[in-house]
A and B are shown apart, each in its own frame.
Chain A
Amino acid sequence: MKFRFSGKPVVKGNLEGRTLVSKYPLSFLGGVDPNSGRVIDPDSDIKGESITGKILIYPTGKGSTVGSYVIYAMKKMGTAPLAIVLREADTVTIIGCVLADIPLMHRVKPDPLSIGNNVRVMLSGDALEVLE
């Protein structure tokens, strides 16, 4: 079954990948281990999961603005997510994604959190398409 979501691209990109979805806001400083790419926030529903190479979907960012530099560092180390999809983009994530050139989309309708985990999706232009 194919399903098409549409949103507003902040950093544009065309790519395919598998999803990792969290219901909770994410802080890159303290919430993610940049070396391993794993979520370490004890309250997160994706704690222990690796965000590396995933299309990471969550409501919005939270926490220290140093998080932008963490996103950039993860890209350099090869542990960054492939793309980020948010309900509403926050300054920390926007800046991190621009610095790291990681595709970022927000204001996605219908709610992108409804896409399950490990689902193959394609991001292109203002579209987010479920491929399976």
Chain B
Amino acid sequence: MDGKELAEKVLVALAEAKDAEGSVRIKNAHVSGISYMNLGDYGLTFLEELSDQGIKVAVPTSSNPCGMDRELWNEQGVSKDFAEKQARVNAALEAMGVTPTYSCTFPYEGSWSSSLSRGDHVAWAESSAVVFGNSILGIRTNREGGPSALFSAITGMTPNYGMHEDKNREPTLLVRVEPPVPRGPLEWGLLGKKIASIGEKARVPYIDGLGKIATKGELKAISAALATFGPTDLFLAPRLTPEAGAKPVGLDEIVIDGEELEESARRDVELAIKGDLPKAYFLGCPQYGVEDLVYLARLFLNIERIKGEIYVFTSAHALSDPEAREAVASLRAKGVKIFKDTCPVFSPSPKFEKGVLTDSVKSSYYLPQSKGVKPSLEPTVVAFMLANGELEGE
């Protein structure tokens, strides 16, 4: 096969099947589906065949998390066999010119995001980044899959339909959150899940009641949850998203009780105190950014050595920040396990055999599929309680 020709054939077929108005040029691409855990030998062989032909990406292309921390895979518990296969996947991608970012947040958090402007077309294959990018940055991308993003990267084009067209970026539903959504990534994730569960009608929700400001962590959480549980690729919110405009009139309207969200977030804390919950907590889905790492280091400031197990997943671009590195050094010294380049959903390790707690609504959906473990959703403060020895039980 001729890879370049094949890439063009794929895009033409996609465009025709989706009734797209031709194709548009993209500024960058983000490929996913690159963990050897998902790819297996079929995917690995395909990528190696493609790269052996000398095919190169035509636009800057970043990569989603792979199956391991490329430096600490042994400490992470990944086998040598797996690590070798993963290294071959990574080598094939990098030979095609893919930038080794290995992060689900790089498209909107990394160094390229500052060169993107509202209205720019891109092809991203990480659903949480798709919602964050369309909504918060105002860029335009459909929810691509690993292969479609790769073929877009090779051709520099993507079919012009869906989120690339103005007509599909208009609000379809008015959501009022009253009282406003409480603070915290779990709370914002729960709200996202609730809205997404409405289904097709919530394709582009206009959300009133998110307040004037939000932390990066909250925006990441709601974006990830909207993408995980429904068809939403774009949400609009006054003051938070550039395309929100005035409150729409004449749309169907639903009201979500902010207090109820708060209650459901706190529901299990009591159970946690009784000692009935797992003694492991996983943070960083989507991967932790600089702000999150610094916040966690402050939260754990007075803990000398943590109780239980705390896992944090972050990215190389976050760790390029000196403040983040300082936070990570302090957390690691207390016994917190911190990995980059990967995430538990895409990696064979950790397995969380005895169960796990998390504040990530997205991973509460994916962890059961990938590991057969259903995590308990707990607010971030429970991570502190666990680390501080308040969940010892008995």
Quick one: which of B2-52 are within 8 Å of A by CB? 6, 9-10, 13-14, 16-17, 32-33, 38-40, 42-43, 45-46
In the complex, the answer to whether B13 meets A64 with C-beta atoms within 8 Å is: no
Chain A contact residues: over half helix, strand or loop, or mixed? helix
Closest Cβ of chain B to A7, distance in Å, is 11
- A residues within 8 A CB of B6? 98-99
Q: Once bound together, how far apart are the Cα atoms of A105 and B32, in whole Å?
A: 27
A127 within 8 A of B: no
Does A10 sit at the interface, judged by CB under 8 A? yes
Whether the Cβ atoms of A29 and B17 lie closer than 8 Å is no
In the bound complex, do residue A66 and residue B43 qualify as a contact, i.e. CB atoms below 8 Å apart? yes
Name the residue of chain B whose CB is nearest to the CB of A70.
Answer: B42
User: Looking across the interface, which residue of chain A has its beta carbon closest to that of B151?
Assistant: A95
Q: How far is the CA of A36 from the CA of B353 in the complex (A)?
A: 32
Q: Is A92 an interface residue, CB under 8 A from the partner?
A: yes
**B145 on interface, CB distance cutoff 8 Å:** yes
Assess whether B358 is interfacial by the CB under 8 Å rule.
Answer: no
* Interface pair A8/B17, CB less than 8 Å apart: yes
A10 and B17 in contact, given A92-B145, A95-B151 (Cβ under 8 angstroms): yes
- The answer to whether B148 has its CB under 8 Å from any CB of chain A is yes
**Which residues of chain A in 59-114 are interfacial with respect to chain B, using CB atoms and an 8 Å cutoff?**
64-66, 68-70, 72-73, 89, 91-92, 94-95, 97-99, 106
A11 at the interface (CB under 8 A from B): yes
B125 within 8 A of A: yes
Q: By the criterion CB–CB under 8 Å, are B39 and A69 in contact?
A: yes
Is the CB–CB distance between B38 and A91 below 8 Å?
A: no
Q: In the complex, how many angstroms separate the beta carbon of A69 from the nearest chain B beta carbon?
A: 4
Residues in A neighbouring B146, C-beta threshold 8 A = 65-66
Decide if B275 is an interface residue (CB 8 Å cutoff). Answer: no
* B151 surroundings in chain A (CB, below 8 A): 95
Is A34 interfacial (CB-CB < 8 Å)? yes
Write the nearest CB–CB distance from A54 to chain B, whole angstroms.
20
Give 17 new A-B contacts, CB below 8 A, not counting A65-B33, A99-B6, A99-B46: A29-B38, A64-B33, A65-B32, A65-B147, A65-B148, A66-B38, A68-B145, A70-B42, A72-B46, A73-B45, A73-B46, A91-B144, A91-B145, A91-B148, A92-B147, A95-B10, A95-B13
Q: Which residues of B pack against A, CB within 8 Å?
A: 1, 6, 9-10, 13-14, 16-17, 32-33, 38-40, 42-43, 45-46, 125, 144-148, 151
Q: List 29 A-B contacts (CB under 8 A).
A: A10-B17, A11-B13, A64-B33, A64-B38, A65-B33, A65-B146, A66-B40, A66-B43, A66-B146, A68-B145, A68-B147, A69-B39, A69-B43, A69-B46, A69-B147, A73-B46, A91-B14, A91-B144, A91-B148, A94-B14, A95-B10, A95-B145, A95-B147, A95-B148, A98-B6, A99-B1, A99-B10, A99-B46, A106-B17
A residues apposed to B, CB below 8 Å: 8, 10-11, 29, 34, 64-66, 68-70, 72-73, 89, 91-92, 94-95, 97-99, 106
